[in-house]
Structure 1
Amino acid sequence: MNALTLPDIAAQASRQALPLEWVGMRGIALPVLLEGQRLSATADAGVSLDDGEARGIHMSRLYLALEPLETARLCPALLREILTQFLSSHEGLSTGAYLNIHTDWLLKRPALISPLAGWKSYPATISARLKNNMFHVELKIEVPYSSTCPCSAALARQLIQQQFIDDFANKSLQHADVLAWLGSTQGIVATPHSQRSTAQLHLHLDEFIDELPLTEIINDAEAALGTAVQTAVKRADEQAFALANGQNLMFCEDAARRLHLALRRTPGISAFHLRVIHAESLHAHDAVAESSWQREPA
């Protein structure tokens, strides 16, 4: 029996000659190595189909080119190597190659006061592009934090003042009485509303950067905000967290400005777009602010 040649339908000419901007695969499961951590990830891999006469691309070649991600440290140089392989395996078909890696970056965070610590997850996407020999890498990172409304805090303070007037009008004040009043629910009759909030950071990295500075960016963002959500806590940590919120009252506009200034100072970033989302506890809708920046060309 003669062996039959397996058909290659993708090599046939298209009936409708039309180039395509992006063709590939989404949601490819794979592990990645990042800063010594082995993380579960998914990848989107694709190339442009510039030859409008071609029926399709060779997706299996893209899939196999991802194999180095299993064992090599994830860095811009590795991403460029993989994208170069995408293009060399599609010579004559493609001039652009694309790779997005989605994962959850894990950082162990200490408690504010106690010796406890716990892990926090930061959703992250690493995107690389290579087109006409121009290569760039972008990061998308989500950073959770707490935000306490300044307006709500002012309104709560006013109610506490009014209660103080009601309770101590025409009475001689004793230090012990006032101290007890401040520690009671009778005195502190109102509290400001807080919400879990999210900073969505979209960062364009410098062309010649050697590493993926996820940890540095997250540290800078949390330091600027001052109210990073916690992991394992004791009561002393919870009290310190309440103090941090009280000292960092912020509208979404305040948070966006803090992050903007912090990212401007972070090395390795040439442009960014940020969005902060305060999931309101007062309203059923969110409060949102956005800001962008791009370094001026030299």
Structure 2
Amino acid sequence: MTMSPTSARAMPDIARDAEPGAAGQLDWVGMDEIAVPVRLANPDGIIVQSPARVAAYVNLKRADARGIHMSRLYLHVDRHLSSEPLTPCSLRRLLRDFLDSHADLSDRARVGIRFDHMIRRPALASDNSGWKTYPVTINASMDASGFAVEVETEVLYSSTCPCSAALARQLIQEQFDADFPEGQALDRHQVIAWLGSEAGIRATPHSQRSSAHVRVRLAAGFDLPIIDLIDLIESALQTPVQTAVKREDEQAFALLNGQNLMFCEDAARRMQEALDADERIVDFWLRAAHLESLHPHDAVAYASKGVEGGYLASQLD
């Protein structure tokens, strides 16, 4: 009897049937760099879609099993992330499906989702606006201890060195003393003109593009505060990089830099204070890196919430 192409037939399942060459439990098995779209709800309720890369894993607790069911992980990722907005609830359902489909093999699951989130930002002073891209990573895990979600992002900002600013002010003072010697009557208009000349800004402090890398673990009962987290960091630092810039915007940016002189330690403490005060965040880790214009190396500071036993507390990258 000839079997038609559509007839059901048994197919070999090596992962299920074959014994492993060497027995042993494995911490994680799965796939990385899965291309899939993710959907996010903006604060105004509009759903936006972004291309993402996903890592999906379960552990392999049975030492005698050859492998897991990779295709099941992929199909769960595709179905969940393509059809519903990304929320802690949707991530919980996804991980539950990972474990239910590997009930005889696994008791731990995790997923990591990386994408770029675009936000339209207004200019500082003009009526213009432009798009800023923020890299976002969402990690979720499920095991016997429960379900956990983390959000990670990076914010670029400008940092002006307080030491350099003080040294520049000293040189400006010395130039003023030389140009307006003691005993000479000061003319207000002459002084104003001097302040607006190159002589009046004999030295400038060095500033540089800087990076704030932040990772937070969320408390139960909250949605994914992606934009809120970005806004929180930018508000703490006060000098996020800009998109659309006219002269009035550049002047406003210079004013913000002058009013927010900071070492990397200052930047880290500003973010630490802001994150520590947010009830949605139960643990955090942050890194402030100033990509020095004075040195060929970077100035870096780390901070964390310091939750006892929290794995975020000791991470350096």
Q: Is the 8 A contact 1:204 1:269 kept in 2?
A: yes
Determine the C-alpha separation between the residues in 2 that align with 1:180 and 1:8: 84
5+ residue gaps, structure 2, are 42-46, 310-317
| 1:227-276 residue CA offsets vs partner (Å, 9 max, x unmatched) | 11111011111100000000000000000111000001123100101110
Q: Is the 8 A contact 1:32 1:41 kept in 2?
A: yes
Between the aligned residues of both structures, percent identity stands at: 53
1:115: Cα distance to partner?
1.0
Determine the C-alpha separation between the residues in 2 that align with 1:261 and 1:78: 30
- Residue in structure 2 matching 1:291, options 303, 306, 309: 303
1:225: Cα distance to partner?
0.8
DSSP-derived class of the 1:187 partner = helix
Determine the C-alpha separation between the residues in 1 that align with 2:250 and 2:30: 48
User: What is residue 126 of structure 2 aligned with on the other side?
Assistant: 114
Mapping of residues 69-88 of structure 1, within 5 Å: 69-88=81-100
User: What is residue 213 of structure 1 aligned with on the other side?
Assistant: 225
User: What is residue 229 of structure 1 aligned with on the other side?
Assistant: 241
1:289: Cα distance to partner?
0.5
- Counterpart check, 1:184 vs 2:197: yes
- Residue in structure 2 matching 1:198, options 211, 214, 217: 211
User: What is residue 173 of structure 1 aligned with on the other side?
Assistant: 186
Mapping of residues 5-84 of structure 1, within 5 Å: 5-11=10-16, 12-35=18-41, 36-66=47-77, 67-84=79-96
1:296: Cα distance to partner?
7.6
1:277: Cα distance to partner?
0.5
TM-score of the superposed pair, with normalisation by structure 2: 0.90
1:75: Cα distance to partner?
0.1
DSSP-derived class of the 2:305 partner = strand
5+ residue gaps, structure 1, are none
Determine the C-alpha separation between the residues in 2 that align with 1:208 and 1:226: 29
User: What is residue 265 of structure 2 aligned with on the other side?
Assistant: 253
Determine the C-alpha separation between the residues in 2 that align with 1:71 and 1:7: 32
Name the CA shift for 1:85/1:133 in 2 (closer, same or farther; >3 Å). Answer: farther
TM-score of the superposed pair, with normalisation by structure 1: 0.96
Determine the C-alpha separation between the residues in 2 that align with 1:46 and 1:224: 35
Runs of 4+ more than 6 Å apart: none
CA RMSD in angstroms comes to 1.5
1:167: Cα distance to partner?
1.4
- Counterpart check, 1:163 vs 2:179: no
Determine the C-alpha separation between the residues in 1 that align with 2:146 and 2:306: 18
Determine the C-alpha separation between the residues in 1 that align with 2:277 and 2:129: 28
1:295: Cα distance to partner?
5.5
Q: Is the 8 A contact 1:270 1:294 kept in 2?
A: no
1:294: Cα distance to partner?
4.4
1:95: Cα distance to partner?
0.4
Mapping of residues 276-287 of structure 1, within 5 Å: 276-287=288-299
Determine the C-alpha separation between the residues in 2 that align with 1:266 and 1:198: 21
Q: Residue type of the partner of 2:142?
A: L
1:196: Cα distance to partner?
0.7
Q: Residue type of the partner of 1:227?
A: T
- Residue in structure 2 matching 1:271, options 272, 276, 283: 283
Q: Which moved more, 1:3-12 or 1:242-251?
A: 3-12
Determine the C-alpha separation between the residues in 2 that align with 1:28 and 1:115: 40
DSSP-derived class of the 1:229 partner = coil
